[in-house]
Structure 1
């Protein structure tokens, strides 16, 4: 199973993001845009994991939920990763209680570390991935898309859980939902 942990943003915010991506596709027709069901904020990517590890993952992740209270995020604006002439990833900015999101991500990573999972990045950067360049040298149209996102506001999301997802041929299947109950 190819697994990752993430928080979702609710149907209203996801619908606004989907509408915005429709308009952005016109500006960057060669880019590979995220499917609506793929809109989430990844906390930690686990990679390929045997199904026999699910019980150990549950035991590691469930205690994290009781350490965190629900929080609110908002999404709007955006930018890109990569050089300005060759951006590789287009993203929307995550705002609101980002400190709570970062704390949740850190505790998820810490809880999974004894099982051999490590965070890919030294510091977690909250962002909502919208599109990726199809070519390794990037796509200049993504910079234009980022400029068009300035001043955008897609609303708020109430985060009251995180989810262990399985990624299977473009589908994201929840394997475990952990409520935030502190």
Structure 2
């Protein structure tokens, strides 16, 4: 099974993201937009994992929740990864309690490392992926999307749990919810 850890952003951000994706499809009809269901911020991508490893992953992740308090993030504007004229990835900016998000991501990463899961990047950069180019060289339409996102406000949402998702058939299924329960 294909697994990753993430946080969800609540219904306001989900609904506004869906509206933005609809608007951006007209600007970039040939790129791969993210699924509108389950808008999330990936913390650690685990990749293909045998089902027999789920108990040890659960054991590693469950202690993380009590060490973190819920926090609020907001999403707006946008940017891209890759060449400015032919970006490969379109994203929306994540703001608010990003230090709390980075601390949660680091804790999840540390908890999973003894199980052999290495983080994809040295430093975690909070962003909400919106679309990817089908062409590995990038797509100029994504540069137009960055311009179209100027001033966009996706709202704010409360992050109150860590989720272990399984990606199956293009859909995300929660395999574990770990509430963030630290007070203060």
Distance in 2 of aligned mates of 1:77 and 1:60? 35
Structure 2: how far apart are the matches of 1:73 and 1:25?
25
Shift of 1:169: 1.1
Structure 2 counterpart SS, 1:18? helix
Q: C-alpha separation between the residues in 1 aligned to 2:39 and 2:154?
A: 13
- Alignment-derived partner of residue 148 in structure 1: 148
1:157 aligns with 2:146: no
Partners of 2:90 and 2:146 within 8 A in 1:
yes
Q: Following superposition of structure 1 onto structure 2, how do residues 1-182 of structure 1 map, counting pairs within 5 Å?
A: 1-182=1-182
- Give the TM-score normalised by the residue count of structure 1: 0.98
**Residues 39 and 129, structure 1, Cα contact 8 Å, conserved in 2:** no
May I ask how many residue pairs the two structures share in their alignment? Answer: 182
Q: How far apart are the structure 1 equivalents of 2:29 and 2:121?
A: 30
- In structure 2, stretches of 5+ residues that fail to align are none
* TM-aligned CA distance change 1:78 to 1:86, over 3 Å: same
Q: CA contact under 8 A between 2:32 and 2:134: conserved in structure 1?
A: yes
Counterparts of 2:19 and 2:180 in 1: how far apart (Å)?
29
Contact 2:8 2:38 in 1 (8 A): no
Question: Secondary structure at the residue paired with 2:174?
Answer: strand
- Deviation readout 1:34-65 (Å, 9 max, x if unpaired): 11114210000000111111110011001110
Give the TM-score normalised by the residue count of structure 2. Answer: 0.97
Q: Which runs of 5+ in 1 are unaligned?
A: none
Report Cα offsets for 1:68-126 as digits up to 9, x if no partner: 00000000001000001210000000000000000000000000000000101010000
